[in-house]
Each structure stands twice: as structure tokens, then as C-alpha cells.
């Protein structure tokens, strides 16, 4: 899964309001099998995240954003 790229797509939508651009980025990730859809919430990423970001929760949010 491409966590930084998923965050980038979410930021383009939420921060900049660039829906079409964000959807394009996310679609490329989905086509490559590396979008938030690939997250199985195993929490392995939590142990590696130096910023203590709740990544599985963020992947849920990304799925919600790009399903609407």
C-alpha cells in the first residue's frame, strides 16, 4: 500500500478542494493495487510510523472520501 500517496490524494481533496485531481491520483493507486482499498487494518504500519498517525483509521477515511 502506498500510504504517503493515499495521504496526498486525501489532502488534495480535503485541504485544496481539488476533487478531480485527487480522484485521478487515487484511481491510479487503485489500479496499481496500492490504494486504501488494500489496507487490511493489520496495524503493522502503526509500529513503523514515527508520527503516531492512526493509519488504519486514515485509510478508512480515504475509502469513504473516494467512494462518494
Q: What is the pLDDT of residue 10?
A: 98
Q: What is the pLDDT of residue 21?
A: 98
How many Cβ atoms are within 10 Å of 10's Cβ, its own excluded? 20
Domain carrying residue 11: 3-67
| Residue 35 backbone dihedrals phi, psi, to 5 degrees | -80, -175
Split the chain (68 residues) into runs of 10 and give each run's mean pLDDT.
97 98 98 96 95 97 92
For the entire predicted model, the pTM comes to: 0.93
How many folded domains does the chain comprise? 1
User: What length is written for the chain?
Assistant: 68
How many Cβ atoms are within 10 Å of 5's Cβ, its own excluded? 16
Distance CA 26, CA 24 (A): 5
| Residue with the three cell numbers 503516531 | 52
Amino acid at each position: 500500500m502506498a500510504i504517503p500517496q493515499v495521504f496526498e490524494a486525501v489532502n488534495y481533496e480535503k485541504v485544496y478542494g481539488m476533487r478531480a485531481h485527487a480522484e485521478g491520483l487515487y484511481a491510479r493507486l487503485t489500479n496499481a493495487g496500492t490504494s486504501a482499498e488494500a489496507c487490511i487494518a493489520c496495524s503493522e504500519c502503526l509500529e513503523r510510523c514515527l508520527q503516531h498517525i492512526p493509519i488504519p483509521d486514515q485509510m478508512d477515511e480515504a475509502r469513504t472520501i473516494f467512494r462518494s
